[in-house]
Structures are given as C-alpha cells and as structure tokens.
C-alpha cells in the first residue's frame, strides 16, 4: 500500500449524510449548488443527450467534480468530507474521507475487507487491532487514521486510540484538542470522557494521546488500561491503536498484546528486513496474532 500519495489540499466545510430524498437534483439543490431554474436546464440536457443528471450539470458548468462526488456520496449514505474554505484543518491525509475514488482509498478498503475476513475466520469477538511498524516514518498514523475512517463508513462504531505517547499525531490529523487524552486516563486524572466523538465521520471517535508523559511504558502496563478497554469494548465494534516505533520502544508490544491482533507496516527502501522480522517475532512472542503485513511502496 502506498501511503505517501499527493492528494489535493483540502479543508473541511461539512460532511454529507444520506437524507430521505435521494435524487441528485434535490441533493444538489439542498446543498445550494443549483437553483430551480438550473434544474430545468439540466433536465433538458439530460433528456437530449441521454446522460445522468450529475453529468449534465457538469457539462453546463453549474457544479464542480467535487460537488458531484459529494452528492454521490450522499446518495449512497457515505460519510464524505467536502473541500471548502472554512477554518477547519482536518488533514488531507484522510484520503478515505475526502476522495472515495482515490486509488489509496480503494487499497484501504481492501485492507479493511481482509481484516474483517480474518477476524471472522478466527471468530474474534472483540475486534481490536494495533498498527505497528519497526521504525519512524513508515506510515503508521496514516494507515491507522484512514482505517478508522473506512471502518466508520461501514457504520461500525469505531474508536481510534492514539497510544503513541512519544510523538502523537492523531490529534493533528483530525484537528482535535489533545489537552486531555490517554495519558491522563492512565494516570487516573481523567476517565473515558476523554474520548472525542468525531461528528464529521459519523460513528468514529478518537481518544487522543494527550500530554506526553515521562513514563509511557509504565502507564501502558497499568491495570487501568485493561479496565478502560473492557469498558470500551462494550461501546465500540472496532478499536484501533496507533503505536510508537516498535524497535525503539516496547510500548508497541504491550499494546499489541492488549489488542490481541496487529498488522505490521513496512516501507519500501526504508524498513530493513531484519527490523521487520524482529518486530514480527517480538509480537508473536507476546501471543499477539499478526493478521498481516502492509507494504508502503513510496
């Protein structure tokens, strides 16, 4: 999987969700993209050329391709972020949300499908997964964030936990505050109220890392983490963990053990074979089920 693809720089102005009237004209009109007079012009072109409503609107230059993609997503009940000029700064790394037609989005859906199949074959009841890689710069946060998005697009109640207490990124990707997060929960200074529902993404929630503590490994080994996960498993269908580099820190092994399942990410021309093999061995030694590997080709 390539995780370093150039995608359009976008800012969020809202999300699209399915409404009762799923006609393309109604959706575009409700969104303020076309007026009642435009609809008649579009219908004339549609009838004359035998094309779809959205294509006719495009040919008349009444809407943009982004408008059409957003309307199609709304027709099919897909949570989809709209490009705009608002002040929000949800990262364009979330290709699964911004551009469902992007090749990377399809690769992420394929990974989601493989995970669901393997969990089903193994009769896994509590679907928790650690996203692990040997070193830095290999795409863990990108894959974890986008996997969370595509699971939520299935309507799965999905929780992404930023358990990288060394150099967290998920709060920046999703543009949420990180004053209170996992580190505060594990130190007893906060409870599961630190979980942030992400309304733009439907059924997705994020537990940010919070402040970076001086003792990450000790916090992750506390019984509070087990108690927290037992509570969260009853609220969410899928729980994903972003983790720090596995070769440098033992945190990833501890988190993968708690999750029970892990995928190992390796980057082409970056991740050493020995480092990848060592990471997989270490996970296997903890009893973690390594459900697959993901190759970042760029």
What percent of the chain has a predicted confidence (pLDDT) above 90? Answer: 63
List Cβ neighbours of 178 (8 Å cut-off, separation of 6 or more): 168, 171, 208, 209, 210, 211
> Does 120 map to a domain?
yes
3-state secondary structure of 263: strand
Phi, psi of 272 (to 5 degrees): -75, 145
Out of 67-71, 89-93, 241-245, 269-273, the most confident range is: 241-245
CATH number at residue 212: 3.40.50.300
One domain for residues 273 and 154: yes
Phi, psi of 15 (to 5 degrees): -135, 160
One domain for residues 49 and 141: no
> Does 45 map to a domain?
yes
One domain for residues 163 and 47: no
Domain total in the chain? 2
Is the pLDDT confidence value at 7 over 50?
no
| Sign (positive or negative) of CA dihedral 29, 33, 39, 45 | negative
Q: What is the pLDDT of residue 288?
A: 95
Q: Which residue has the higher pLDDT, 38 or 77?
A: 38
Phi, psi of 184 (to 5 degrees): -70, -40
Q: What is the pLDDT of residue 170?
A: 98
Q: Residues 67-95: what's their mean pLDDT?
A: 70
One domain for residues 130 and 271: yes
Kindly state the helix (H) or strand (E) to which residue 266 belongs, with its residue range: strand 261-267
From 185, 198, 268, select the one nearest 227 (Cα to Cα).
Answer: 185
* Structural domain of 47: 18-76
Q: What is the pLDDT of residue 188?
A: 94
From 150, 158, 124, select the one nearest 241 (Cα to Cα).
Answer: 158
One domain for residues 114 and 176: yes
pLDDT tens across 10-55, in order? 333 344 443 445 688 888 888 888 888 898 899 989 999 899 998 9
pLDDT tens across 112-148, in order? 999 999 999 989 888 999 999 999 999 999 999 999 9
Q: Residues 50-66: what's their mean pLDDT?
A: 88
Q: What is the pLDDT of residue 222?
A: 94
One domain for residues 268 and 146: yes
pLDDT tens across 186-225, in order? 999 999 999 999 988 989 999 999 999 999 999 999 999 9
Q: Domain end: 28, 46, 76, which one?
A: 76
From 231, 232, 236, 291, select the one nearest 260 (Cα to Cα).
Answer: 291
* Other beta carbons within 10 Å of 253: 22
Alpha-carbon distance of 233 to 41, in angstroms, equals: 52
Q: What is the pLDDT of residue 67?
A: 81
One domain for residues 125 and 57: no
Q: What is the pLDDT of residue 6?
A: 32
Q: Residues 243-254: what's their mean pLDDT?
A: 96
Q: Which residue has the higher pLDDT, 96 or 4?
A: 96
Least confident interval from 79-83, 201-205, 255-259, 288-292: 79-83
- The DSSP output letter for 205 is E
> Does 37 map to a domain?
yes
One domain for residues 103 and 220: yes
One domain for residues 271 and 212: yes
> Does 81 map to a domain?
no
**HSE-CB of 140 using CA atoms within 13 angstroms:** 30
Taking CB atoms within 8 Å and a gap of at least 24, the contacts of 192-198 are 192/228, 192/231, 192/232, 195/159, 195/232, 198/174
Q: Which residue has the higher pLDDT, 281 or 1?
A: 281
290 and 263 Cβ atoms separated by less than 8 Å: yes
For residue 71, what pLDDT band results from cuts at 50, 70 and 90? confident
Q: Residues 240-252: what's their mean pLDDT?
A: 96
Q: What is the pLDDT of residue 70?
A: 73
One domain for residues 126 and 166: yes
């Amino acid at each position: 999987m390539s995780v370093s693809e150039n995608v359009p720089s976008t800012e969020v102005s809202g999300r699209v969700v399915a409404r009762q009237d799923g006609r393309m004209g109604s959706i575009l009109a409700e969104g303020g993209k076309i007026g009642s007079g435009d609809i008649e012009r579009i219908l004339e072109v549609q009838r004359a050329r035998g094309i779809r409503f959205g294509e006719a609107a495009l040919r008349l230059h009444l809407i943009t391709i982004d408008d059409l993609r957003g309307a199609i997503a709304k027709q099919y009940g897909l949570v989809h972020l709209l490009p705009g000029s608002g002040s929000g700064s949800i990262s364009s790394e979330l290709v699964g949300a911004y551009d469902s037609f992007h090749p990377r989005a399809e690769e992420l859906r394929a990974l989601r499908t493989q995970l669901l199949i393997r969990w089903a074959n193994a009769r896994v009841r509590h679907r928790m997964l650690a996203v692990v890689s040997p070193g830095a710069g290999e795409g863990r946060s990108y894959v974890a964030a986008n996997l969370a998005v595509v699971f939520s697009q299935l309507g799965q109640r999905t929780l992404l936990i930023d358990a990288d207490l060394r150099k967290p990124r998920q709060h920046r990707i999703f543009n949420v505050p990180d004053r209170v997060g996992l580190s505060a929960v594990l130190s007893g200074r906060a409870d599961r109220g630190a979980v942030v529902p992400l309304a733009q993404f439907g059924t997705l929630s994020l537990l940010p890392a919070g402040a970076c503590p001086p003792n990450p490994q000790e916090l992750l080994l506390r019984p509070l983490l087990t108690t927290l996960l037992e509570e969260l498993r009853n609220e969410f269908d899928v729980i994903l963990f972003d983790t720090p580099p596995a070769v440098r820190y033992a945190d990833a092994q501890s988190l993968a053990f708690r999750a029970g399942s892990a995928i190992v990410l390796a980057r082409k021309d970056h991740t050493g074979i020995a480092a990848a093999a060592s990471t997989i061995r270490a996970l296997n030694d903890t009893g973690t089920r390594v459900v697959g590997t993901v190759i970042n080709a760029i």
